[in-house]
Amino acid sequence: DPNSGSSAMLEVARSLGELLKKGWKPSRTIIFGSWDAEEFGLIGSTEWVEENSERLSKNAVAYLNVDVAVNGTNFGVSGVPSLMAFAHGVMADVTDPKTGKSIFESWVSRQKAEKANTAKVGDTEFQIGSLGSGSDYTPFLQHIGVPSLDMGFNGPYGVYHSVYDSFYWMEKFGDPNFTYHATLAKIWGLMVMRLSNEALLPFDYSNYGRQAEKFVDSISRDAKENELDLNLSELKKAASDFRQTAEQYQERLNRERLAANNLKIVNETLLKTERAFIDPQGLNLRPWYRHVVYAPGIYAGYEAEVFPALQEAINSKNISQARLAASQAKSALERAKATLLFNANP
């Protein structure tokens, strides 16, 4: 932590450099960032994002974060729901050194095993994790709304943040042949190449809509359990409307071939949809966090909270703040829906 991530990033940069020498060129700008002072409050990445917020808000397609690249053999990925299908596609094209199957197949097998003894057995969708905080994706996603992914190979990591977290430990115990470092670099490199070269940005907001509905249903149950007189019918409708609009939009994208002039408009729409979840006023008690759907829980450390302002108001049984937060969440979902409807016929 974080040298395994740095080494993987350098390998991705080296590989892309070799491709450049052979004539390959990305269609979109690729920026490699190595951030100072992460342990002191994400200072490096936060200052850079704040300094470049206007340019990033207008143009940034995605942010791919790797902090600890390897501390085990199990691949894990978290991010926004719109990038889930994209992540799955890349995972399906890289081989897992341990199983010989694809990274995606191994990941699904672990998901099934982990769900076998939980209430989520009936959930056939294998979702990537949600982003809370604790690494440098935080300012990109939660301050300015850049779609983000965070990934790495995970496992038991008893030397974390100790003097034993060293090259010697990695060479002898963590990843003796550096096989998993190379595999992570393949995944990361493929993601970079596809995001920088695919004519149509690989975002799918239909999954975002389905997840939003599930989140709202879960929050509604929490409100009842806390015996709050909170009417969330308008929020539920906003989530349902966004899901339906996103599904219809994605169906058209899957069905129709886009002319060059329409392609630019569609890509701008896909970029702006994630930005629609940003509220300039920010969340209650912590205005720097402006993403209405995702933030670290105010009392949960790094763990993600979904619709955080609303969830936290319900947990504290603050009915007036819960109503304000529900209205804020409803407005964000309506903005996202309106963004897709503005270009309803790609």
d(Cα 142, Cα 62) in Å, to the nearest integer?
A: 13
Contact 75, 96 (CB under 8 A): yes
Contact 322, 314 (CB under 8 A): yes
Contact 236, 304 (CB under 8 A): no
- Cross-strand partners of 286: 283
* Four-point Cα dihedral 138, 141, 147, 151, nearest 10: 10
Q: Residue 93: helix, strand or coil by DSSP?
A: coil
Contact 110, 38 (CB under 8 A): no
Q: What are phi and psi for residue 160, nearest 5 degrees?
A: -55, 130
Concatenated DSSP letters for 270-314? HHHHHHTTB-TT-BTTBTT--BSSEEE-TTSTT-EEESHHHHHHH
Distances (CA, A) of 280 to 122, 209, 290: 38, 22, 6
Contacts of 72 (CB under 8 A, 6+ apart): 153, 154, 155, 156, 157, 174
Active site residues: 38
d(Cα 279, Cα 145) in Å, to the nearest integer?
A: 10
Q: Which two tokens stand for residue 331?
A: 């407005």
Closest CA to 226 of 297, 142, 312: 312
Q: What are phi and psi for residue 301, nearest 5 degrees?
A: 65, -125
CA 217, 305, 249: angle at the middle one, nearest 5? 60
